[in-house]
Structure 1
Amino acid sequence: MTTANGWTDELLDRMRATGDPLGDAAIAETYALGQQEQVRKALLGFGRSPGPTRSAGSG
């Protein structure tokens, strides 16, 4: 079956079985060093606005 965007079930199944060696190694190292809490805290800040900023020329 092909989805509306052209992705077939076969292709999606193959992609689900594909790993990410660099990502897997980074996660393994994070846990080996016991730094998962530091990483979790750092990731929590992504996508959040730090608050209002002053535009150029104001103030």
Structure 2
Amino acid sequence: MSLTCFAFLTEAVAAETSLGSVPLRPQLAGAVVLVGYALVAAGVAVLAPLRRDLR
């Protein structure tokens, strides 16, 4: 069981709203997306000041 019981929560909401529960992506896929966002943010944080300094 996960620390947040998120799968339990999604199944409970799905049962209450008569919608099917959405299958969650694997944790590795979430980690890859998170690392990708971090790399993009780091790139913007480095390049944005450099462009302003060169003008």
- What's the TM-score, normalizing by structure 2? 0.29
Structure with the bigger percentage of helix: 2
Q: 1 or 2 for the larger relative contact order (CA 8 Å, sep ≥6)?
A: 2
- What's the TM-score, normalizing by structure 1? 0.28
